[in-house]
Structure 1
Amino acid sequence: MRVASVLKARVRMAGSLSNWIFTVFVVGLIDSLEASMRPRVSFPQGSLERGLSTYHSSTVKNLTTLLLSTDANTLFVGAQDSVLSLDISQPDNITLKDKDCGNFVRILQFFNTTHLYACGTNAYGPQSIIIPADSLNSMREQTEAKNCCPYSSTQRNTATIVDGELYTATNIGYFGDKVISRCLSKGTRNNLMLDTEPKLLNAPVFISSTHISSEGKILLFFTEVGDLIGDSFVKSFTVSRVAQVCTDDNGGHRVLQKRWTSFVKSQLVCQQGDELQFNVLEDIVTLSDDDSPDNTLFYGVFTPQWSFSSAQSAVCAFSLGDIKVAFSGQYKTFDNVNHWSHYSNGDGKLGKCGLFNDTDSVLNTVKKTFLTERAVHPVGNKLLLSSTKELYSRLAVQRIRAANGQKYTVLFLLTESGFLHKVVLLDKAPHIIEEIQIFKQPQIVKNLILSTSKGVIFIGSSEGVIRVPVSSCSVYPNCAECVLARDPFCGWDSEIGMCTTVSGSRPNLQQDVEDGNVTQQCTEFKNTAAGPATVTRTAQLNEIVVLPCQSRSRLDEVTWRFSDNSIVPQFPYLHQADHSLTFRVTQETVSTYRCVSEELGFRQTIVSFSVKLPVTPRSFTHPSHEHPDVTQDSSKVTDMEPIPKDDILFDETEPTEGKKTTAWTTGTDRGNVIQARHNPMNSAEKAVCISEKSYYAEMVAFCLLFIMCACLFIAFVVLWKHSMRCNRTTPEKNPKDTETDNICQTELEDKQTPNS
């Protein structure tokens, strides 16, 4: 990975076409060797196993601003010209409770325990109201929206309300000026904005904000154009930031009046070693730690500003403790000649709250000293997850206690292609448990909210609101599948014979999130690898047989094997990409075939077929043969869980196992192949074999007719030439024509002589 990132940097800086082509070629080879993360199980849209519930209205669009009630029974939605109240108390249904017409709602927050604050763009004339949460059409209170509400519906913004005061970061005015403000300030407290000093914000895109009650601060996350001295390439570099403002800030008395005195910012670096930096923050969420606030983590999705793949992203986690260290350290100070210089912050005042009461000298320093020298690096100085195949745009995070009591962090990542990835962070590497298709076509998604009490995720899109359960343990039919899933939400209950949700009432569930060890967790798999009953397939000679094999997991290794565990060779068999096996039925290919999957050291038979010839009165006893030349995987056989011979059905007419390698018959025969899909959960479902029609008799008749026609044509030509020679009269004859002329003369005289 490190070599690849260095070469990618060389491509960006390459000065000649030859270097560029060479580097691209090498990078392509290296990237192809890098292991890509794949979801273990994929559920398409409409799958009954992973059912989704949706609220959709033909009259309401852009349901993108979501707010969940404290009891998680109501979901408030800010949409285009509407504020909705949706009843989500039922697990499989979303119904409309109330609706209020308004402008394009971009901010929706709880003003207090009983009322909502809603703010909309109103066609570049922002408006905001306070309305009762239980009745959206009741009496409302109009509030001041200037410098608080976004003017544009297309640009991102963030807001949070603390003690009835609104802290917002948004764009204002027709020219899209960006501000960080406090509105609805109580009593004698002032509404605050950033000063007009340069370098405070440089074309920012606001992502998220959160209230840190233990610190009395609001943390804001955004991206902006980097402010570094250098060429134009460096100046266009995007930087991800974390900034703070204090909730007790009231602005200075003479300096920074009605301006923030507590604003400072630092760089967020999502990078591992010297690898490619993911410098563009897409989304970030907070995972609080009430026992130790400094261990509060912020999980962010990042993408690189420049990359060869359009689908590259990473996840990094930053701790509150590391952010506090950066804010309390040394700073850079900005002067009027566009120059940054070092500032030691020896008195430790910068980054602290309460500076609004300090001296004018200190506040003058605050005006131009707000960028920390130290950047905030991810926890462990490493990426939690990186992908070269997917472009993640939004995320939610949850910490769940597994059956053994250990806590795991689970990420829910939404891709630009319309899938939701469920990822558990493990010590060895992240594991994508499953992916669920949410949209068939790309949608505008601006919000993703998780309800841990309900165990569901709500996704706000341009077309509607989708609810996705965080787990569906019942999709795993047996203990092996349940354990191999490595889902901390799910464990196998041997008493009821089901894969069920882990809870305090069921502490003794079989589960192995780290290793997925089936033989240790599942008693029914300790001494034997249970498999399905063998299904008999009767087929005619020269028929094309397709034996289907559908594996649920995308991480297992699937092989076809004979009953003695020898591997079915590549010829004369055709191993399809969907794991099906195709071959022509001959005396040598009549045998028993098992589709075997191996995952995390555990083998199991998915499906077993016995292919036989039909028994007729004129049929002879099949001769005994040996297996075709196959590759014997002795090491894997040794490691494989024993599969009892009782699991394979034989009958007296079945030929002795093993065939000689024979090429497929080629010539004039043609066969039609029909592939039959097989459900591994129903081994009785049959594959389809189609007999081939023989054209041998027709070909023989055609050849004979062709020969007869050719002979007649040759005879006609010979007689025609002979007749032409006899009718010719020439005064002079060559010696070589004497014999022919005599014959013709004799024939002529015979014709002229009368019959006696």
Structure 2
Amino acid sequence: MGRLFRIWMFWVLFLGLIDPSQASLRPRVSFSQGSSERLLGVYDSPTLKNTTTLLLSTDADTLFVGARDALLSLDVSQPDSITFKDKLEWKASRQNLNTCKWASKKDCGNFISILQFFNSTHLFVCGTNAYGPQGIIIPAESLNASIDAKDAKNCCPYSSTQRNTATIVDEELYTATKVGFFGNKQVISRCHSRGTRNNLELENVPKLLQDPIFISSTQVASEGKILLFFTEVGDLTGDSFVNSFIVSRVAQVCTDDNGGSRVLQKRWTSFAKAQLVCQQGEELQFNKLQDIVKLSPTDNESPDSTLFYGVFTSQWSVSSGLSAVCAFSLADIKASFTGDYKTFDLGGNRWSRQPNTDGKLGTCGLFNDTDRVLSIVKTSFLAEKAVRSVGKKLLLSSTEERYSRLAVQRTQAANGQSYTVLYLLTESGFLHKVVLLAKGPHIIEEIQTFKQPQTVKNILLSKSKGELFIASSEGVFRVPVSNCSAYPNCAECVLARDPFCGWDSETRACATVTGMGSNLQQDVETGNVNKQCKDFKNTAATVTRVAQFNEIVVLPCQSRSRLAEVTWRFLNNSAVPQFPYLQRADGSLVFLITPETVNTYHCMSTEMGFEQIIATFTVILPIIPRSLPPPSHQQPDVTLDSGTESEPIPDYYTTLEFDQSDSEPTTNEKTTADRSGEKQARTNLQSTVNMNTDGKDVVCISQKSYYSEMVAFCLLFVICLFVCVAFVILWSQSIRCNKTTPQKQPKDTESDKIWGTELVEKLS
């Protein structure tokens, strides 16, 4: 019963996982790949395959790209362009390739798995080398220098499909990865230790790591620690249902650690791990960490204000694409590691509480402590207190997109207020730019970066350049973090609520905010156009649409914003009714031309309480002049509008051309009097028509309309149909009556029956 109750509770919580308030979270504007309003720089080369890692130089002018069998350096010093600079060809050894293919591995090549600055002048590069990993140290300025590859089997991943993380501090490499030909060993190690310092690995004890997937790592200099983020299989009880949970973790190791003297020799004495909880209140957790990045505090803030922004998904919602973003503070992580711990009892197969009475657990410098303390450290590595998200809430959740990677930065708006901006990459190929506001997240825009759905392994933000670099199978993309010129007027600029953009009333353009005190019109929180754009003219150019009676007309109207409500109104500002009009999902208006629908229409967009006219259409009937009679002695009665501008003649008119000369073709049937009458009619006609540039008079004669005849025919047809139906009904009733009336037998037949009866009686 207890197990069934837990399963029932799981589904109850899961049904509450979707937050209705977040379900409608949509990007305001969307730019497809190649859009002229959102141009991206791209580097694409046939030799660039399977990009795996990105690294930007300290001056942000060179981008290093790790790929299959190659390491490239690209010049990104010029805006909006990426050009080739240098290349290192580094292929797997022939022996390793043969062994890899014999084992039927799919990634038999040399994939660059780790790319870091070893120091200010050199790079440290790890390659899988067809499941025989190697590492090299190479000058950053010359990738063609001779290389001296060293074995890196305990420091670098064997496979390109396994996630790993690496950080270099003081020329020492801290890595977390799976090693071995079959990836059956997990290591968190320190390699290339300097001087007399030992290379360190984890002790092989139960429950230390359980099928982990390493996500990210970073140095926290103020603590002298390396923080590592990963997911693993949860194991808190013997219940198989609970054991099926995926748990997100944060772990620590100290950079001063050198292993114990007798206990934990050449092993970490500072390793500890805690659970990361991304959860809204008491709802079901988003338990699978996808990516996490650090946002350092400002200069006047404490290091404890450091925040870590992570993208999470739920293991029970793979098909729905459900994902969320949570933030964690360094202060909460420190509180977890300095609290009590849990010790795994191998005999009882359970966890027990380990009080941190002396406060030593989770601190640095334990490698010099006693064997008794190190023995406790060896088995007490799981912090009892979980690290919960800031405010115990979600910053963002989506029921439509599965986010895989993210970048984050903090920027100042024109009024000096600071805002956090997230860049979230979806597996469907779009980049979402999100600003976190007091009322909740706002997706400013989405940009299609690549067409084929894929899991991108790297997204790199350059704050100095104000650009993002994204590596995919389709190339390396360069995305500016803002594109203010895409907003054509003050209203659009303010409604975007982009902290990077504001309206410049002097240049009458949407410009980039350069810092506090910028004289730009901007309202990031509420997008108040009426307050910021007082000189904005809410007008749109009128488009004239000529249409005939009974013609179906489609008036297009599409708002730039997907958050705006589109409505149609008449010239007097009254709303266009639902019948006989039809408004499509794309905002266009469809209707049939009748005398009542010939009108002027305004397409209105309403967003954040502001209404603006997107488009104006005036629907008119064609100019229908009176038809010319056949040639006769009577003067034709033709009336045409004249003015400075004339509309083009529709195709449904018949065009007659008259030569300007007075000469007439002679025929045997025409008399001299007829010709003189026609010449007089011509003279009168020429005084009422407009002249073409080629010197010919043009008269437009409308084709005859059969509208009234069609109406009369339809009425007669309905009457005839009614009469025929009535006749058929009466006739069928008469037939039914005849069948039900009993018929009398003929008299002769009855007499024959009587006579026959009497004859039988006599004979008997």
TM class, shorter-length: 0.7 to 0.9
Asked if 1:38 is matched to 2:46, the reply is no
Deviations 1:46-98 (A, max 9, x none): 10110111111212211120011111000111111000101111112111111
Written as runs of structure 1 = structure 2, the 5 A alignment for 1:562-711 is 562-618=570-626
Q: What is the identity, as a one-letter code, of the residue corresponding to 1:478? A: N
Match for 2:424 among 396, 413, 418?
413
Asked if 1:156 is matched to 2:166, the reply is no
User: Which residue is 2:485 aligned to?
Assistant: 474
Match for 2:330 among 320, 333, 336?
320
| SS of match in other structure, 1:445 | coil
User: Which residue is 1:119 aligned to?
Assistant: 126
Written as runs of structure 1 = structure 2, the 5 A alignment for 1:371-410 is 371-410=382-421
Higher alpha-carbon deviation: 48-57 or 114-123: 48-57
Higher alpha-carbon deviation: 456-465 or 472-481: 456-465
Measured after TM superposition, the shift of residue 362 of structure 1 is 0.5
| SS of match in other structure, 1:482 | helix
Match for 2:307 among 297, 312, 315?
297
Q: What is the identity, as a one-letter code, of the residue corresponding to 2:36? A: L
Measured after TM superposition, the shift of residue 141 of structure 1 is 3.8
What is the rounded CA distance, in whole Å, between the counterparts of 2:21 and 2:333 in structure 1? Answer: 36
8 A contact 1:8–1:27 mirrored in 2: no
User: Which residue is 1:267 aligned to?
Assistant: 275
What is the rounded CA distance, in whole Å, between the counterparts of 1:453 and 1:269 in structure 2? Answer: 33
**Which structure would you say has the larger Rg?**
2
| SS of match in other structure, 2:267 | coil
Going from structure 1 to structure 2, the CA distance change for 1:404 and 1:33 (only over 3 Å counts) comes to closer
Q: What is the identity, as a one-letter code, of the residue corresponding to 2:33? A: Q
Measured after TM superposition, the shift of residue 576 of structure 1 is 1.1
User: Which residue is 2:137 aligned to?
Assistant: 130
Measured after TM superposition, the shift of residue 100 of structure 1 is 0.4
Higher alpha-carbon deviation: 503-512 or 412-421: 503-512
Written as runs of structure 1 = structure 2, the 5 A alignment for 1:154-303 is 154-176=161-183, 177-289=185-297, 290=299, 291-303=301-313
Asked if 1:499 is matched to 2:513, the reply is no
| SS of match in other structure, 1:430 | strand
Higher alpha-carbon deviation: 227-236 or 414-423: 227-236
What is the rounded CA distance, in whole Å, between the counterparts of 1:693 and 1:587 in structure 2? Answer: 15
What is the rounded CA distance, in whole Å, between the counterparts of 1:520 and 1:695 in structure 2? Answer: 53
What is the rounded CA distance, in whole Å, between the counterparts of 1:229 and 1:32 in structure 2? Answer: 33
Measured after TM superposition, the shift of residue 590 of structure 1 is 0.8
Going from structure 1 to structure 2, the CA distance change for 1:519 and 1:376 (only over 3 Å counts) comes to same
Asked if 1:348 is matched to 2:359, the reply is yes
What is the rounded CA distance, in whole Å, between the counterparts of 1:254 and 1:405 in structure 2? Answer: 57
TM-score under structure 1 length normalisation: 0.78
> Which runs of structure 1 show a deviation greater than 6 angstroms over 4 or more consecutive aligned residues?
30-34, 691-702
What is the rounded CA distance, in whole Å, between the counterparts of 2:474 and 2:214 in structure 1? Answer: 24
Asked if 1:329 is matched to 2:339, the reply is yes
Match for 2:116 among 102, 109, 121?
109
Measured after TM superposition, the shift of residue 273 of structure 1 is 1.0
What is the rounded CA distance, in whole Å, between the counterparts of 2:243 and 2:554 in structure 1? Answer: 61
User: Which residue is 1:65 aligned to?
Assistant: 53
8 A contact 1:36–1:389 mirrored in 2: no
Measured after TM superposition, the shift of residue 335 of structure 1 is 2.5
What is the rounded CA distance, in whole Å, between the counterparts of 1:479 and 1:309 in structure 2? Answer: 41
What is the rounded CA distance, in whole Å, between the counterparts of 1:468 and 1:313 in structure 2? Answer: 23
Going from structure 1 to structure 2, the CA distance change for 1:117 and 1:434 (only over 3 Å counts) comes to same
What is the rounded CA distance, in whole Å, between the counterparts of 2:600 and 2:576 in structure 1? Answer: 10
Going from structure 1 to structure 2, the CA distance change for 1:550 and 1:383 (only over 3 Å counts) comes to same
Higher alpha-carbon deviation: 580-589 or 216-225: 580-589
What is the rounded CA distance, in whole Å, between the counterparts of 2:312 and 2:242 in structure 1? Answer: 19
User: Which residue is 1:82 aligned to?
Assistant: 70
8 A contact 2:415–2:516 mirrored in 1: no
What is the rounded CA distance, in whole Å, between the counterparts of 1:414 and 1:695 in structure 2? Answer: 59
What is the rounded CA distance, in whole Å, between the counterparts of 1:330 and 1:159 in structure 2? Answer: 29
| SS of match in other structure, 2:440 | coil
What is the rounded CA distance, in whole Å, between the counterparts of 1:158 and 1:32 in structure 2? Answer: 36
Deviations 1:420-461 (A, max 9, x none): 000000000100000001122112310111001111101111
Q: What is the identity, as a one-letter code, of the residue corresponding to 1:50? A: R
User: Which residue is 2:666 aligned to?
Assistant: none
Match for 2:569 among 561, 570, 577?
561
| SS of match in other structure, 1:425 | strand
TM-score under structure 2 length normalisation: 0.77
What is the rounded CA distance, in whole Å, between the counterparts of 1:507 and 1:191 in structure 2? Answer: 52
User: Which residue is 2:719 aligned to?
Assistant: none
What is the rounded CA distance, in whole Å, between the counterparts of 1:296 and 1:221 in structure 2? Answer: 15
User: Which residue is 2:317 aligned to?
Assistant: 307
8 A contact 1:126–1:150 mirrored in 2: yes
User: Which residue is 1:687 aligned to?
Assistant: none
Going from structure 1 to structure 2, the CA distance change for 1:9 and 1:515 (only over 3 Å counts) comes to farther
Deviations 1:256-282 (A, max 9, x none): 000000000000000011212100000
Measured after TM superposition, the shift of residue 140 of structure 1 is 3.0
What is the rounded CA distance, in whole Å, between the counterparts of 1:34 and 1:166 in structure 2? Answer: 41
Going from structure 1 to structure 2, the CA distance change for 1:350 and 1:612 (only over 3 Å counts) comes to same
| SS of match in other structure, 1:396 | strand
User: Which residue is 1:724 aligned to?
Assistant: none
8 A contact 1:542–1:692 mirrored in 2: no
What is the rounded CA distance, in whole Å, between the counterparts of 2:201 and 2:136 in structure 1? Answer: 21
Going from structure 1 to structure 2, the CA distance change for 1:33 and 1:522 (only over 3 Å counts) comes to closer
User: Which residue is 1:534 aligned to?
Assistant: 542
8 A contact 2:336–2:386 mirrored in 1: yes
Measured after TM superposition, the shift of residue 701 of structure 1 is 12
What is the rounded CA distance, in whole Å, between the counterparts of 1:464 and 1:536 in structure 2? Answer: 46
Q: What is the identity, as a one-letter code, of the residue corresponding to 2:306? A: T
Measured after TM superposition, the shift of residue 567 of structure 1 is 0.7
Measured after TM superposition, the shift of residue 340 of structure 1 is 1.1
Deviations 1:175-205 (A, max 9, x none): 3111000000000000000001111101000
| SS of match in other structure, 2:149 | strand
Q: What is the identity, as a one-letter code, of the residue corresponding to 1:324? A: K
Asked if 1:54 is matched to 2:42, the reply is yes
Measured after TM superposition, the shift of residue 9 of structure 1 is 7.1
Match for 1:432 among 425, 435, 443?
443
Going from structure 1 to structure 2, the CA distance change for 1:147 and 1:533 (only over 3 Å counts) comes to same
Going from structure 1 to structure 2, the CA distance change for 1:569 and 1:53 (only over 3 Å counts) comes to same
Q: What is the identity, as a one-letter code, of the residue corresponding to 2:507? A: I
Aligned residues: 616
8 A contact 2:22–2:397 mirrored in 1: no
User: Which residue is 2:519 aligned to?
Assistant: 508
| SS of match in other structure, 2:378 | helix
User: Which residue is 1:518 aligned to?
Assistant: 529
8 A contact 2:414–2:516 mirrored in 1: no
What root-mean-square deviation, in Å, do the aligned CA atoms of Structure 1 and Structure 2 show? Answer: 2.7
Deviations 1:462-505 (A, max 9, x none): 33211111110000001100000000010001111110110039
Measured after TM superposition, the shift of residue 699 of structure 1 is 12
